[in-house]
Chains A and B, each alone.
Chain A
Amino acid sequence: MKNHTILTVVSVLAVSSAAYAEPRQNTLAADVAVRHRRLLVKNRFEFAPLFESTINADFRHILGGGAKLEYHLSDMWSVGFVGVGSTAINTKLVDKITPTLEMNVDDKTREPSQAEFLDRLNTMPFHGAGYISFTPWYGKLAAFGQAYVAFDFYFQAGVSYAQLKSNCPSTICSDQFPGVSHTGMDGDTIPPDLNPNNDPPLNSGGHLGVYLGGGIHVFLNDFLALDMTVRDYAFTDNPSGADFNADLFVSNADNRFLHHLFFGVGISVMLPTTVKRTP
């Protein structure tokens, strides 16, 4: 009798427990990954003087200084623009090719002279971009077990602009009718000279394009950060200013959509200089 009573009680409790049991839920499942996080970028302006250089340029390295100004709408999204004034130096490839070229212009050969080769190469006195930036990753790191710093990774996309420039004097780029027949002084039709080496390079002027970037902030304190970015300014260009499509004259058809990769490093100043924290 006693055993039956115990069994009954246990059964009732078991049923009751089952009836009222709720599936256990991890209360942290929907929680944020980090609490009391310093909001190092949210609602702050970022001003960063920076230095930028091309990566693996074909004919001319572009080196320059500039700045970026960015406003962080939230912890992940920001808008901004970057502008860089640059100078150019010849790449090793150009330095190797140039001495092997003929010293003086000789239109009887297909080979460009040194001046024809060098004067057609363009430079990029100014370039920049307007962009939207997305910061999906943030964290902190320990270096050598001593320095603990915060960092974040960001990715950017937007519109690029580049001002290109080439200085080919009329004595070198002397063909006024590249690729087309024209009428001479005596009324005769003069066919195209089929010599692209004396054609104007057509690689100057402003170019709009696509901008992509990715980088990292390494925060030195609450308002200063080391900013390293790889930027891709992609737009139509013909860096050599020479005949690309082998039609024996230089035209806009020789331009093609090219990626101009830059590495930039700067110091970001976050304004205001004080930070808030997440709950």
Chain B
Amino acid sequence: MAGTAFAQSKGKRPPAKTPAKTPSKTPAPSPPPGTPAKGSGDDGGEIEMNPDDAKKPGTGSGSDVNPDEIDMGEPEKQQGDLTTDLNTADQNAGAVKATPLKKTPLSWQDIIVVIRKPFLKVRRTELLPFVGTTMNDNMIRHYTVGGELAYYLTDVLAVGVEGMAYVHAFQEPFDLVARQARRLPTVNEYNWSAALDFHYVPVYGKFAILDRHLATWEALFTAGIGAGQSEVIPRDTKFPGFTNLLIMPNVGASMRFFISKWMTINLGIRDYVFFDHFEPKNRSDTMYATASDAKDHADGSLINNVMFQIGVSFWVPTSFEYTTFR
């Protein structure tokens, strides 16, 4: 009996009267020594073979499948309707007795073992303290300390609020431009920002570390709208600076690594887009000397402040319960 007929297709469970549990009229050859049989209750993401089952050939619903028959290289193809396949197999049952057994290779992709998500987020609150740094400004680098509070409406959708405080440091070109090109760069520093964010988690996965430990992760996209404040750093310190209130939409992508049921590590990139106002050129004692005058004649520019952020999330409630069977 070909194993293909009893392979479970995606999204459909086999009927209660599973043919695999009935005695096979033409049983597949026994697995070679040392080759474990397949168990049906395995929860590994790949097809795991329980060593205990290796001593008991025939255990599990898939035990009549010889691993040697599995065509590992066959590309995944569209799965047919399971009922149709079973009917076809029954109609041809007689022919199988009369003709030599034709073995249909079992595709590796025919055998689906689905595990539960190791981490549920629905109706849980994430508290994320994080730090960040500017990625795309070669004049001034901002470092941030911030936090985000997000509530997951579903397992993939969340709404949250975030806030950040900034400190800055000048980069090498800031001095070089002044010294080599005799030009004083015009830069603004950022003081704070806050935003209302929406998160969507379309990607999740798992990976093995050094072929020993499995870890799970997911990727999420973020879009939000918020506000912030920038402050002009005067080229000549005898002139006062001024502040700008900024409307700051943001988009980003992040990865989350699951450490425990209540803690994750987050890292990602966020682009804060805003229209900033800079100190006007040719500022002097007689022109734009005051902060208000300079602000009225400020030069505007669209800014993309791309930041790398990393933090540790704490989840409340600290645990969760599955609502579906394993």
Residues of A within 8 A of B (CB): 27-28, 31-38, 55-58, 75-76, 91, 93, 97, 100-101, 109-112, 117, 136-144, 151-153, 196, 221-222, 240, 242-244, 246, 274-277
Contact B208 A34 (CB under 8 A): yes
Main secondary structure of the interface of A (DSSP, over half): loop
Per a CB cutoff under 8 Å, which of B136, B182, B205 touches A139? B205
Contact B136 A56 (CB under 8 A): yes
Chain A nearest CB, measured from B178 CB (Å): 11
Taken together as a complex, chains A and B put the C-alpha atoms of A37 and B208 apart, in Å, by: 11
What are 12 A-B contacts with C-beta separation under 8 Å? Answer: A32-B212, A34-B45, A35-B46, A36-B46, A36-B108, A55-B135, A58-B172, A117-B181, A139-B215, A144-B202, A242-B176, A244-B176
Q: Map CB proximity to A onto B25-57 as digits: 1 under 8 Å, 0 otherwise.
A: 000000000000000000011111101100000
Contact B208 A35 (CB under 8 A): no
Contact A143 B203 (CB under 8 A): yes
Contact A93 B173 (CB under 8 A): yes
Chain A nearest CB, measured from B75 CB (Å): 7
Given contacts A243-B180, A275-B73, contact A27 B51 (CB under 8 A): yes
Contact A140 B45 (CB under 8 A): yes
Chain B nearest CB, measured from A122 CB (Å): 14
Taken together as a complex, chains A and B put the C-alpha atoms of A225 and B24 apart, in Å, by: 41
Q: Map CB proximity to A onto B183-217 as digits: 1 under 8 Å, 0 otherwise.
A: 10000000000000000001111111111111101
Per a CB cutoff under 8 Å, which of A111, A137, A153 touches B182? A111
Residues of A contacting B202 in the complex (Cβ-Cβ under 8 angstroms)? 143-144
Residues of A contacting B212 in the complex (Cβ-Cβ under 8 angstroms)? 32-33
Give 4 new A-B contacts, CB below 8 A, not counting A33-B211, A35-B49, A274-B73.
A97-B181, A140-B45, A142-B204, A275-B72
Residues of A contacting B209 in the complex (Cβ-Cβ under 8 angstroms)? 33, 136-137
Given contacts A34-B214, A111-B182, contact A240 B47 (CB under 8 A): no
Residues of A contacting B108 in the complex (Cβ-Cβ under 8 angstroms)? 36
Residues of B contacting A136 in the complex (Cβ-Cβ under 8 angstroms)? 209-210
Residues of B within 8 A of A (CB): 44-49, 51-52, 72-73, 75, 108, 135-139, 172-173, 176-177, 179-183, 202-215, 217, 219
Contact A141 B176 (CB under 8 A): no
Chain B nearest CB, measured from A34 CB (Å): 5
Chain A nearest CB, measured from B180 CB (Å): 4
Contact B205 A111 (CB under 8 A): no
Residues of B contacting A76 in the complex (Cβ-Cβ under 8 angstroms)? 210-211
Given contacts A33-B213, A36-B46, A58-B138, contact A101 B181 (CB under 8 A): yes
Taken together as a complex, chains A and B put the C-alpha atoms of A101 and B182 apart, in Å, by: 9
Taken together as a complex, chains A and B put the C-alpha atoms of A21 and B136 apart, in Å, by: 64
Given contacts A97-B183, A144-B203, contact A36 B176 (CB under 8 A): no
Contact A28 B51 (CB under 8 A): yes
Taken together as a complex, chains A and B put the C-alpha atoms of A153 and B255 apart, in Å, by: 14
Per a CB cutoff under 8 Å, which of A56, A152, A240, A277 touches B138? A56
Taken together as a complex, chains A and B put the C-alpha atoms of A31 and B52 apart, in Å, by: 13
Residues of A contacting B139 in the complex (Cβ-Cβ under 8 angstroms)? 93
Chain B nearest CB, measured from A175 CB (Å): 16
Contact A153 B138 (CB under 8 A): no
Query: Chain A: which residue is nearest B177 at the CB level?
Result: A97
Chain A nearest CB, measured from B110 CB (Å): 14
Taken together as a complex, chains A and B put the C-alpha atoms of A144 and B201 apart, in Å, by: 8
Taken together as a complex, chains A and B put the C-alpha atoms of A35 and B182 apart, in Å, by: 63
* Shortest 3 CB-CB contacts between residues of A and residues of B: A139-B207, A141-B205, A33-B208
Residues of B contacting A38 in the complex (Cβ-Cβ under 8 angstroms)? 72
Given contacts A37-B46, A144-B202, A277-B72, contact A111 B181 (CB under 8 A): yes
Residues of B contacting A91 in the complex (Cβ-Cβ under 8 angstroms)? 138
Query: Chain B: which residue is nearest A57 at the CB level?
Result: B138
Contact A32 B211 (CB under 8 A): yes
Per a CB cutoff under 8 Å, which of B51, B72, B173, B206 touches A140? B206
